[in-house]
Structure 1
Amino acid sequence: MISKNKGFTLIELLVVIAIIGILSSVVLASLNTARSKGQNAKVKAQMAGLRGAAEIYYDTNQSYATTAVTGTACASVAATLLADTGVRSYLDGMPNGVTEKCYATTGSTGGYSVATSLIVAEGTNNAWCVDSTGKSKAISDTTALVAVTCP
């Protein structure tokens, strides 16, 4: 009687395992990129919500601030839109690891601007900015924000 061994050789099994490992590393790298872009989308959505909440604050108070805010880290400053719970909720809902910079001027002709860093750079832009003129755009960095309008 002739007996034949059926099955795979050790080399064949190692090659298949190596191919599976390479493919899984490519998939995991793509997932990390997608996750980071999703965090950027969250930053932009939070900033859009903040802009709406700031306009509601202005409509109620006829001013964005009674105390000027110049380039702070968006801490809750009394008598400004940054202390308003509606606006504050959007800043507090940002993903971990973002930095923020805020400006606000006083009076009915005043304005505001808020910039937050992005999780992953989009080209040469590392931050997102919104302001009282309606701008919502990418900027090079939060340090580029130096006034109540986005650069």
Structure 2
Amino acid sequence: MFKKKRGFTLIELLVVIAIIGILATIVLVSLNTARVKARDARRQSDMHQIALAMEMCYDDTACNGGAEGQYLEVTAVTGPTAIGTYMPVVPTTAGGAGTAYSWVVNTGSQSKYLVCAALEISGAGYVYSTQNGTKTVTGTCPTVLE
């Protein structure tokens, strides 16, 4: 009496391993795209929070150096590390395209501001937040407000 051996051949095992490898690669590529979108969503959310802190600081004389009705003065394109008590720690971007948010306040009346961060998904585009809302622009972050 012969017993029939059960099992897989070497070719069958190699084919299965190759299919699993291809599927794993597809999943990892998809996850990377999701991570990029998540970082961009976080950047947009952080910029909205920075804009809210700037708006709350607008009429607070303790926040903006004693000048009521003006935004926190920023002398360089890189903003401060805090916005009064409204945002004790300004967030940094989540890896990828940049390391920090930048913003600028118009000189003189200090009645306008913009907040910038590079988005990974749209390439060189920047989203900036002003009193008029948010939008995407191409090129580099503006350094001067009219």
The answer to whether the 8 Å contact 1:125/1:138 transfers is no
Summarize the Cα distance change of 1:147–1:73 in structure 2 as closer, same or farther, 3 Å threshold. same
Summarize the Cα distance change of 1:57–1:72 in structure 2 as closer, same or farther, 3 Å threshold. same
- What is the RMSD of the two structures over their aligned residues, measured on CA atoms? 2.4
Partner-residue secondary structure (3-state), 1:63: coil
Summarize the Cα distance change of 1:68–1:51 in structure 2 as closer, same or farther, 3 Å threshold. closer
Paired residues, number: 137
Structure with a larger share of its residues in helix? 1
1:45 equivalent in structure 2 = 45
Partner-residue secondary structure (3-state), 2:6: coil
Partners of 2:17 and 2:31 in 1: CA distance: 21
Gaps of 5+ in 1: 77-81
Summarize the Cα distance change of 1:106–1:87 in structure 2 as closer, same or farther, 3 Å threshold. farther
**Once the two structures are superposed, what CA deviation does each residue of 1:82-110 show, in whole Å capped at 9, x if it has no partner?**
65242453x32532443433211356562
Partner-residue secondary structure (3-state), 1:86: coil
Q: CA deviation at 1:75?
A: 3.8
Q: Highest relative contact order (Cα 8 Å, sep 6+), 1 or 2? A: 1
Partner-residue secondary structure (3-state), 2:40: helix
Which of 138, 142, 145 matches 1:145? Answer: 142
Partners of 1:99 and 1:116 in 2: CA distance: 7
Partners of 2:57 and 2:47 in 1: CA distance: 15
Which of 61, 71, 74 matches 1:64? Answer: 71
> When the two structures are superposed, what TM-score results if normalisation uses the length of structure 1?
0.76
2:21 equivalent in structure 1 = 21
Identity %: 33
1:79 equivalent in structure 2 = none
Structure 1 moving runs of 4+ over 4 Å: 106-109
Gaps of 5+ in 2: 62-68
Partners of 1:19 and 1:54 in 2: CA distance: 53
2:32 equivalent in structure 1 = 32
**Once the two structures are superposed, what CA deviation does each residue of 1:90-147 show, in whole Å capped at 9, x if it has no partner?**
x3253244343321135656211111112x132x55322111x232122224x24143
> When the two structures are superposed, what TM-score results if normalisation uses the length of structure 2?
0.78
Q: Which amino acid aligns with 1:129?
A: Y
Partner-residue secondary structure (3-state), 2:128: strand
Structure with a larger share of its residues in strand? 1
